[in-house]
Structure 1
Amino acid sequence: MKDLISHQLIKYLENRGVEHIFGLCGHTNIAVLSALEKSSIKFINTRHEQIAAHIADGYARAKKETAVVLSHLGPGLTNAATGVANAALDSIPMVVIAGDVPSHYYGKHPHQEVNLHADGSQYEIYRPFVKRAWRVDRPDLFPEIIEKAFQLAESGNPGPVLVSVPMDIFSKEIDTTLFERLDHNTKSLHKPTIDEETAKTIIKTLINASKPLFYVGGGIMLADAAEELRELVDHLSIPVAHSLMGKGAVSDDNPLTLGMTGFWGTKFINDKCKEADYILALGTRFAEADSSSWESEYTFNFPPTKLIQIDIEPSEIGRNYPVEIGVVADLKQALTVLNRVAKELVPNGLQNDELKQEIIANREEFKNSNLKYITDNSFPMKPQRILEEVREVLPRDAYITTDVGWNKNGVGQQFPIYEAGTVLTPGGFATMGFGAPAALGAKIAQPDKVVVSLVGDGGFGQNPAVLATAAEENIPVVWVIMNNNAFGTIAGLEKAHFGTTFGTLFKKDGETYSPDFAQIAKAYGVEGVKIQSAEEFKPALKQAIESNKPVVIDVQMQNIPTPTSGHWNIMDIYSPNKKVHHVAVES
């Protein structure tokens, strides 16, 4: 039996359980769109390919499944590149299917082709950041390529892949048995675990250590291993610190949770890491900001601290610090074994009440240090008060997305997360423009959960057309725009080190300028609220959530820096030996 590849592709995706595709039309992919019209798969139409990629990214994180993006060639593919790269650096599984120039026109430079160095080579644009990029050169190869694409995206350290398809191939017929034979191939690979002997060595080492510590990253969420981690933490009474991406792996109200390390970590948390004699690192790459630029006087000090590291990706083990025991394994599988061994060796578990009380006391001390900001009635609002009131209004299992700046750094430092995987943030790429569309993806993936996006005015201004998709699909996300009329974090850096804010503040004719985001929302058919006083914010947020509609809340915020006692070497590059960080900027 013969059928068009475009039709067989949609049937394949349906059989694979794909429920949504995110993208934007173009003349190279409308054969696929026409096949989607009567499919059970819902196509989420966007106004910009970067928006599509970020929505897909948020969807994959919240649903714990591979997301699918449909793109046009050339400018469509390059528009999507930032969102796909963001997913890549946070290890988010994604399959990008992109139309390409007709195969019979290779060498003629057809419409919208990028070919300055080679013909038919648009897929190479993605090579630096996807796990693999394929160009489909023959119709009969397409079935096995799309199968390999999903398998690679989901296996090992997950991440995006690209399948670039010449538009004529979408419209070619193929023998359907080539797709049917894929039904016999497994769609889920068994993942490596840890052997019993190594697990016993690790547990005995931790038991005998004087100041052991767990350090966890986003790999815990990718492996869906938070419950196994919490079980081990509680059984052994070992404190847990985390990277930005590891926030929420163990609830922020667990008495053994220290918090985020590095530049935006507190001195208490960083000192606990530095003083540890053994650290078990799980699913983390020890990124620069989380590790205080790897300078031993601030956060981690290997040696004398000794490191045990478990990761699904071999290249991450020992990348930045020497490792005493390194294990390549799936974290869920490894933690299952470690829990079993821990209960065999220490049936009644360990207690460390003194440490728990110390952590709780420090948590209270930090909260009290912020009270003057949290209770400040001034307007524009203090960012600490905005975060505090958002947390008070949201249910424990609500999803939060952040962008970059105060919303990301402040959330990492002082916004409690209670359920693993419910804070979605652009970690590796720190992409401005991620938070607003990622919230749509999270809500599509988890329609019964409250989803709020905390985003700056700079970040929301990157892609306000996200509101068109929200209106068309009636996706009830609430965007809280923390508006300081600036690229605030960078303004504070430039002012502190160079005495100027050139290029960082939003001004018109010398006066502070900001679009009216509430009115912009209304123009898109979305409810918009412009906050006029600090007292208005919390009731407005509650009402927005209860409305079960997409709502934009524009709240003016004072442009003050996220407090930090940590270290990042960029400060020494700007101002050597001066210990300068950020300053507040009047915007």
Structure 2
Amino acid sequence: MRHTTRLTVAQALIRFLSRQYTERDGRRHRLIAATWGIFGHGNVAGIGQALLETGRADMPFLQGRNEQAMVHAAVGFARQSGRLSAHAVTTSIGPGATNLVTGAALATINRIPVLLLPGDAFATRPADPVLQQLEVPYAGDVSVNDTLRPVSRHFDRITRPEALIPAALQAMRVLADPVQTGAVTLALPQDVQAEAYDWPEEFFAERVWGVRRPRPDRDELAHAAEAVRAAARPLVIAGGGIRHSGAQTALAAFAEATGIPVASTQAGKGALPYDHPADVGGVGHTGTATADALARGADLVIAAGTRLTDFTTASATLFQNPAVRFIGLNLDPYDAHKLAARPLVADAREALEELRTALAGHRVDPAYEAAYRRAKAGWEERVDRAYAVPREDEDEPPTQAQLLGLLDGLVDAGDILINAAGSLPGDLHQLWRSRSADQYHVEYGYSCMGYEIPAALGTALAAPDRPVWALVGDGTYLMNPTEIVTAVQEGVPIKVVIVDNHGYASIGGLSGAVGGEGFGTAYRFRAGDGSYTGPPLPVDLAANAASLGMAVIRTRTVGDLRKALAEAREADRPTCVYARTRTPDTVSGPPPAQAWWDVPVAETATRTAAVGAREEYDRQAAQRRRHL
């Protein structure tokens, strides 16, 4: 006789999730380690009751303040966990569910697993419409949750209890798949959540989902080795796939054996520590002069675990050698074929190890190696100059680069830095000296303002013994500070550094460069002519952070900031360092962009700034290439 257990759909789902595991390299991890939630009428009597009944031992619960922020926190946790463990996020129907869309897009674009469990409108339609139900005259089965379809890697709606079984299994398959992973959505009608069903006991058995490490195809590996041997100026571009694979050691061994330099994307930065002889820093629009010069002259680019976004390729203008060819080393065939690359479809660690073996005895020309090492040393001198604090600046507000320099002098390999948007990603990609494989956490696939604070919370939950810093500008802070409350509630000692420069400084600079004259980018009162050019707004972000429960350290000068960062690092409660910065001057500041980024400029205009910007745009755009 088949044994069954009578539970509601919600109770069955939570019990099922509590017994799912991933396994890679012989190590097992809890697949869904906790559930975030904000409750409303669409999930309070379903998933909410099920979490209460299941208990914290089997499914820990985390109380969020903003639905989008809960997803960001879950992404931070999953990234820090190597994508081997993830969180679920439950919301009510209506606005709670649609607030998930931005977070889901971020997770899917960055290929980070998160399970979304939004409530949904009644499946049985006892009244029509119910509160927060979207009425679509031509389709009765559409709800607001359908907005999650294009930003989810897998989507299902559970309209009958028995449908949960195949849906839940498919959801776990996608979450654990290193190629397909991202946001997975199971939309749960509120009546179905509370409906009871006799579930087969096998559904609740412990289940282990193996995370694959595919080895390279023999012929693809041979072609790749032949291409490397024939190249005079090869370059590796390390992307986020190196981190997800845990391939940092294999990459270092490959670089040491061959002498091939390694540049990094935002997601790949830290794949080699900054002081590794082969590391040449970030590449692309926000890259170093060393890495970008190597990319321009490369005759072979090994794109290892990267999606080759427009920032990495400088909007298709970076790789200028007429003879350049590409090897696409990627677990995803879609990415492996980009730029007409010869594909090497495999796990990054396995492919790098086997390619190194295939190249035994091969090494780049010593002159090439010596040249890029000299160029790297020159770039490090530029970083020193940007970080430097002249004696006369000690009592002045810091530049943003000086702030990073002070933090650089304080941290060790255990610290983790989180950022996503504004001018900081560019400065960090160029200047930051990554000391460990997971210290650099910049979300630049979606570059989502408001990511940093909740992601720091999730990251700290995954790495509870390490200092976790959220670096935010004033614009980003105002977008999403709510999870400060959760950090205070849970006693998670994240460190938030607020860089206040009175507006959207990054986009303000970009606006000036593309003929927009900084329009609408400063936080200022209106002037007499109606423009936002009056005095700065009297916004006190430090007081806001304090009102949410953080310990706050205000700073005015470089000297204040130096002491405040050290104090925050040792703090055992959530702590905010508030710093007003000044505009970089000729002594201290990041170098200008070393490569182009395509932001279209008005083709016809009457204002001088836009006319001049269009001339520069046409000059740069003429360098675009299609690699065939």
Q: Taking structure 2 as the reference length, what is the TM-score of the superposition? A: 0.86
Residues 1:525 and 2:549 are matched in the alignment: yes
In the alignment, what sits opposite 1:570?
599
- Aligned pair in 2 of structure 1 residues 43, 515: CA closer, same or farther (>3 Å)? farther
Aligned residue type for 2:191 = D
* Rounded Cα–Cα distance in structure 2 between residues aligned with 1:514 and 1:144: 55
SS at match of 1:270: helix
* 8 Å Cα contact 2:290-2:376 kept in structure 1: no
CA distance 1:227–1:109, change in 2 (3 Å):
farther
Q: 1:54 to 1:580 in 2, by over 3 A?
A: farther
Q: Which residue of 2 aligns with 1:386?
A: 403
| Partner Cα distance (1:21, 1:491) in 2 | 38
Question: How much has 1:501 moved relative to structure 2?
Answer: 2.9
Partner amino acid for 2:542?
A: A
* CA deviation map 1:482-504 (0-9, x unaligned): 11011001112223443633321
1:482-540 Cα distance to aligned partner (Å, 9 max, x none):
11011001112223443633321112462112522222222222101111222111111
Partner-residue secondary structure (3-state), 2:578: strand
Q: Deviations over 1:451-482 (max 9, x none)?
A: 00111010011112121111111110000011
For 1:63-212, what aligned pairs fall within 5 Å after superposition?
63-64=81-82, 65-105=85-125, 108-116=128-136, 118-122=139-143, 123-155=145-177, 156-177=179-200, 180-181=202-203, 183=205, 186-212=208-234
Q: Is the 8 A contact 1:255 1:356 kept in 2?
A: no
**Is the partner of 1:149 in helix, strand or coil?**
helix
Contact 2:300 2:324 in 1 (8 A): yes
Q: Distance in 1 between matches of 2:565 and 2:390?
A: 16
Q: Tell which deviates more after alignment, 159-168 or 567-576.
A: 567-576
> Are 1:474 and 1:549, in contact at CA under 8 Å, matched by a contact in 2?
yes
Counterpart of 2:593, as a letter, is T
Q: 1:399/1:134 Cα in 2 relative to 1: closer, same or farther (>3 Å)?
A: same
**Cα distance in 2 for residues equivalent to 1:148 and 1:442:** 27
The residue aligned with 2:42 is 28
Q: Which amino acid aligns with 1:168?
A: D
Determine if contact 1:10/1:39 at 8 Å carries over to the other structure.
no
Question: Of residues 560, 572, 576 in structure 2, which corresponds to 1:536?
Answer: 560
| Structure 2 runs not aligned, ≥5 long | 21-29, 527-533, 603-609, 620-628
CA gap 1:572/1:273 in 2 versus in 1, 3 angstroms: farther
Q: What's the counterpart of residue 515 of structure 1?
A: 539
Q: Find the aligned partners of 1:450 and 1:530 in 2 and give their Cα distance.
A: 20
Local SS of the residue matching 1:22: strand
Tell me if 1:219 matches 2:241.
yes
- Residue 371 and residue 472 in structure 1: after superposition, are their counterparts in 2 closer, same or farther (change >3 A)? closer
Percentage identity across paired residues of the two chains: 25
Distance 2:87 2:319 in 1: 35
SS in 1 for 2:151: coil
2:241/2:268 contact within 8 Å kept = yes
CA separation of 1:549/1:5 partners in 2, compared to 1, >3 Å: closer, same or farther?
A: same
Q: For the residues of structure 1 that align with 2:395 and 2:514, how far apart are their CA atoms?
A: 28
Matches within 5 A, 1:86-485: 86-105=106-125, 108-116=128-136, 118-122=139-143, 123-155=145-177, 156-177=179-200, 180-181=202-203, 183=205, 186-295=208-317, 299-301=318-320, 303-319=322-338, 321-323=339-341, 325-342=342-359, 345-346=360-361, 354-355=370-371, 357-371=373-387, 376-377=393-394, 379-485=396-502
Quick check: 98-107 or 438-447, which moved more?
A: 98-107
Structure 1 residues without counterparts, runs of 5 or longer: 582-587
Does the Cα contact within 8 Å between 1:134 and 1:145 map onto a contact in 2? Answer: yes
Q: Is the 8 A contact 2:387 2:405 kept in 1?
A: no
Give the Å deviation of 1:294.
0.5
CA distance 1:382–1:113, change in 2 (3 Å) = same
Query: What is the Cα deviation at residue 395 of structure 1?
Result: 1.7
Structure 2 residue aligned with 1:51: 69
Sort the Cα spacing of 1:189 and 1:497 in 2 relative to 1 into closer, same or farther, 3 A: closer
How far did 1:203 drift?
2.7
Structure-2 separation of matches of 1:132 and 1:475: 32
Comparing 238-247 with 420-429, greater Cα deviation is found at 420-429
* Alpha-carbon distance change, 173 to 349 in structure 1, aligned in 2, over 3 angstroms: farther
Name the SS for the 1:544 alignment partner. helix
Deviations 1:248-278 (A, max 9, x none): 1111111111111221223332120111111
**Once structures 1 and 2 are overlaid, which stretch shifts more, 417-426 or 112-121?**
112-121
Q: Offset at 1:180?
A: 1.9
Equivalent position amino acid for 1:443 in 2: A
Tell me, what secondary structure is at the counterpart of 1:357?
helix
Shift in alpha-carbon separation, 1:507–1:349, aligned structure 2, 3 A: closer
**1:349, CA displacement in angstroms?**
10
C-alpha change, 1:106 and 1:383, in structure 2 (3 Å) is farther
* Partner SS state of residue 453, structure 2: helix
Give the structure-1-normalised TM-score. Answer: 0.92
1:546 and 2:570 correspond: yes
Q: 1:502 to 1:80 in 2, by over 3 A?
A: same
Equivalent residues of 2:420, 2:444 under 8 A apart: no
Q: Distance in 2 between matches of 1:356 and 1:463?
A: 42
Q: Does 1:62 align with 2:80?
A: yes
Task: Tell me which amino acid in the other structure corresponds to 1:362.
Answer: G
Deviation readout 1:3-55 (Å, 9 max, x if unpaired): 22222222212212232212311212122222223232221111110110111
SS where residue 18 of structure 2 aligns? helix
Kept after mapping to 2: 8 A contact 1:263/1:564 = yes
Amino acid at match of 2:133: E
Native 8 Å contact 1:467 1:526 kept in 2: yes
Distance 2:390 2:64 in 1: 37
Provide the rounded CA distance (Å) in 2 between the counterparts of 1:340 and 1:71.
50
Mark the CA change 1:499 to 1:572 in structure 2 (over 3 Å): closer, same or farther: closer
Q: CA deviation at 1:402?
A: 0.4
Cα distance change, pair 106–133 in 1 and its aligned pair in 2 (3 A): farther
Tell me if the contact between 1:236 and 1:350 (Cα under 8 Å) persists in the aligned partners.
no
SS of the equivalent of 2:152 reads: coil
- Contact between 2:258 and 2:363, CA under 8 Å: does it hold in 1? no
CA shift for structure 1 position 446: 0.6
- Name the stretch that deviates more: 301-310 or 531-540: 301-310
Q: Give 3-state SS (helix, strand or coil) of 2:295's partner.
A: helix
CA distance in 2, matches of 1:42, 1:422: 27
Deviation of the 1:421 alpha carbon: 2.8
Once residues 327 and 580 of structure 1 are traced to their aligned partners in structure 2, the CA distance between those partners, rounded to angstroms, is 36
Aligned equivalents of 1:72 and 1:367: distance in 2? 48
Partner of 2:12: 8
SS at the partner of 2:615? coil
Q: Provide the secondary structure at the position in 2 that maps to 1:370.
A: helix
Three-state SS of the structure 1 residue aligned to 2:479 is coil
Please give the alpha-carbon distance, in whole angstroms, between the structure 1 residues aligned to 2:286 and 2:364: 33
